[in-house]
Amino acid sequence: MNLAIEWLPAQGAPEQLILLLHGWGARGDSMAPLAQALRLAFPQAAVLAPDAPQPHDEGAEGGSARQWYSITGLTPANWPDRVAQTLPSLHQWVQAQQQRLGVGEAATCLAGFSQGAMVALALALQHDGIAGRVLAFGGALTQQPLAAPRHTTVHLLHGADDDWVDVDAARQALRSLAELEGDATLDIAQGVGHSLHPALIDCALHRLRNHIPLRTWQAALGSVPGAPGHD
């Protein structure tokens, strides 16, 4: 995948790796406002934003827009399969960037907007621990999960007035992950639609700086989900 953004620390090796996945019909450089905010907040992080591998459905005649999967003929029934088809190559790409830059899974953050958020969530569910954090802006789960990640914290960020992916999809994702004892949060910005709004970016930065992952609490307390005595 072509890298539209690759920002590395001014000095020294990266301590974190932040991978940004854009929405449908966009390109990696559309994630620049989020990339800039993350770069300022985490100057020792490597921040990368690739162009999705497929030409946009409506731009296949030579347009520059990209997509992670086609939405032509998309239905609730075939949606999970469309997403699943993108995951093997994305998984390999994430691992390749981790190896290239010398950053482990726990120090990796996957951040996606819209279609990119859905792909990021699906990857984290399929490959538990591929990233320590997922930031899902304006996204949703494409199907009910059977298990929640144990080594990945999911931060859902959504506009209350999103007319592309209804905010109830984010609420349902939070409920589903919570019922499976996953580590997830949800921030909803009032008066915000389907966009990488500064209010949601601020929420994401707050979560990255201040949220202590559930697995960290459990390790400190000697508590493991599913183990005897765990509530």
Separation in Å, CA 102 to CA 44, 97, 221? 13, 8, 31
Active-site residue identified among 51, 56, 162, 197: 162
- Strand, helix or coil for residue 223: coil
Strands 108-113 and 153-159: unpaired
Length of the chain: 231
Active-site residue identified among 22, 30, 51, 114: 114
Which residues lie below 8 Å from residue 185, measured CB to CB, with a gap of 6+? 153, 154, 155, 156, 174, 207, 211
**Residue 56 appears among annotated catalytic residues:** no
Residue 219 CA to residue 41 CA, distance in Å, equals 27
Do the beta carbons of residue 20 and residue 47 sit within 8 Å? yes
Which residues lie below 8 Å from residue 187, measured CB to CB, with a gap of 6+? 155, 156, 157, 158, 200, 203, 204, 207
**Residue 114 appears among annotated catalytic residues:** yes
Active-site residue identified among 56, 158, 194, 197: 194
So which residues are the catalytic ones? 114, 162, 194
